[in-house]
């Protein structure tokens, strides 16, 4: 009997040690795998217009205190404010035109990285009539346009050149999108090249206007590449110091862009609320034509580099004098 009791005590003690060991292992495993995300403050600039649309749902998440980082958003209307803010480190991250991203990379000696594409092409040819149904149909006609000295001009020149009609189209540049939208709506500009959301604004004022050509589609037919007009950039030193926070931003930003494309009603209201597009009604009609997208990694690099090559060939100064190096592309 004594031996039996002794054996039972031995087994009980061994079992207790085993149980403690298991519990400790589990606790250690939990401790090892638990790495709570450390939120940081990010100064983010959004640009009014299509380039900023993808950011509005993240702005709302910040206001609702559901964002993983503390985002301090600024909305600007002039791309030169992006240049100043990224140069003096007032911003860590910014949405901007593709050529401006490359220009900043060269200006800041490589201290800029592009994180993702956020906007494909937003340019359209509007006509008050029914004569233009292809690029070739522009021959012998006058085309009003905006964006002289920037990506719209380079895109248009590329399309006209590849269509063999550069010398057959008279292009008259107007100072602003708003001015040209007014001319198109009034009928004074019979054929015009405008970006969204000014396309929607002009169409809403004149029912005789129609979208004659989608230049994103025309660009892809001719070049075999995706037309890119908007990207998100960050200071390279900021990315290197905060890699996990930047990855979290991209995760939340992608979700914000997906929401923009799937919940247009809410996104339209947010565009007006945050000053991206003045009227929700205009935003609602324009968003489907704004080609808001999230492209990162190798696909981002392939698309952006192809576009920058076209801009460089048209005018090296348009991207700061030289093509960016491979370090320009985050995660590629």
Same fold, 41-121+227-328 and 123-223: yes
Q: What is the pLDDT of residue 332?
A: 82
H-type alpha helices, 108-197: 151-162, 177-186
User: Is the entire prediction scored with pTM above 0.95?
Assistant: no
Q: Residue 33 has what pLDDT?
A: 55
Q: What is 41-121+227-328's CATH number?
A: 3.40.190.10
Please provide the size of the chain in residues. 332
Cβ neighbours of 24 (radius 10 Å): 10
SS3 call for 173: strand
Contact by Cβ (8 Å): 297, 116: no
Determine how β-strand 191-195 pairs with β-strand 123-128.
antiparallel
How many other CB atoms are found less than 10 A from the CB of residue 69?
A: 21
Q: Minimal CA–CA distance to 171: which of 142, 200, 133, 131?
A: 142
Give the model's pLDDT for residue 201. 94
Domain boundary assignment for the chain: 41-121+227-328, 123-223
Helix, strand, or coil here: 171?
Answer: strand
Place of tokens 């950011």: 55
Grouped pLDDT means (10 residues each) for the chain, 332 residues: 43 43 45 71 96 97 97 95 96 96 97 98 97 97 94 94 97 96 96 96 95 97 94 98 97 98 98 96 96 97 96 93 97 86
CA distance 308 to 305: 5
Q: Which two tokens stand for residue 264?
A: 């247009």
What contacts 60, CB < 8 A, 6 or more positions away?
270
Tell me, what's the pLDDT at 149? Answer: 87
* Model confidence pLDDT, tens digit, residues 227-278: 999 999 999 999 999 999 999 999 999 999 999 999 999 999 999 999 999 9
Provide the CB-side half-sphere exposure for 160 (13 A, CA).
22
Nearest residue to 274 (alpha-carbon basis) of 12, 19, 31, 49: 49
User: If you classify domain 123-223 with CATH, what class do you get?
Assistant: alpha beta
* Lookup: tokens for 83: 């240049």
Q: Are 197 and 277 in contact, with CB atoms under 8 Å apart?
A: yes
Token pair listed for 191: 């054929």
């Amino acid at each position: 009997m004594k031996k039996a009791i002794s054996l039972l005590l031995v087994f009980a003690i061994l079992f207790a040690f085993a149980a403690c060991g298991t519990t400790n292992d589990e606790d250690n495993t939990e401790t090892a795998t638990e790495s709570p995300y450390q939120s940081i403050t990010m100064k983010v600039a959004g640009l009014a217009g299509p380039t900023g649309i993808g950011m509005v749902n993240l702005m709302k998440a910040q206001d609702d205190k559901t964002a993983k980082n503390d985002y301090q958003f600024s909305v600007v209307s002039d791309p030169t404010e992006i240049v100043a803010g990224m140069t003096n480190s007032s911003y860590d991250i910014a949405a901007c035109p593709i050529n401006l991203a490359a220009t900043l990379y060269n200006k800041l000696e490589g201290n800029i990285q592009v994180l993702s594409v956020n906007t494909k092409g937003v340019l359209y040819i509007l006509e008050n009539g029914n004569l233009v149904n292809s690029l070739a149909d522009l021959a012998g006609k006058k085309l009003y346009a905006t964006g002289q000295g920037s990506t719209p001009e380079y895109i248009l020149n590329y399309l006209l050149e590849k269509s063999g009609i550069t010398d057959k189209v008279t292009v008259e540049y107007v100072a602003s999108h708003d001015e040209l939208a007014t001319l198109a709506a009034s009928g004074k500009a019979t054929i015009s090249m405008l970006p969204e959301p000014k396309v929607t604004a002009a169409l809403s004022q004149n029912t005789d206007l129609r979208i004659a050509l989608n230049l994103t589609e025309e660009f892809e037919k001719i070049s075999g590449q995706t037309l890119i007009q908007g990207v998100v950039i960050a200071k390279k030193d900021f990315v290197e110091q905060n890699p996990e926070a930047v990855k979290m931003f991209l995760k939340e930003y992608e979700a914000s862009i997906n929401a923009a494309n799937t919940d247009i009603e809410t996104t339209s209201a947010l565009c007006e609320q945050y000053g991206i597009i003045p009227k929700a009604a205009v935003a609602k009609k324009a968003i489907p034509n704004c080609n808001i997208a999230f492209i990162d990694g190798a696909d981002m690099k392939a698309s952006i580099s192809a576009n920058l090559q076209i801009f460089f060939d048209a005018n090296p100064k348009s991207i700061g004098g030289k093509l960016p190096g491979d370090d320009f592309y985050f995660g590629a």
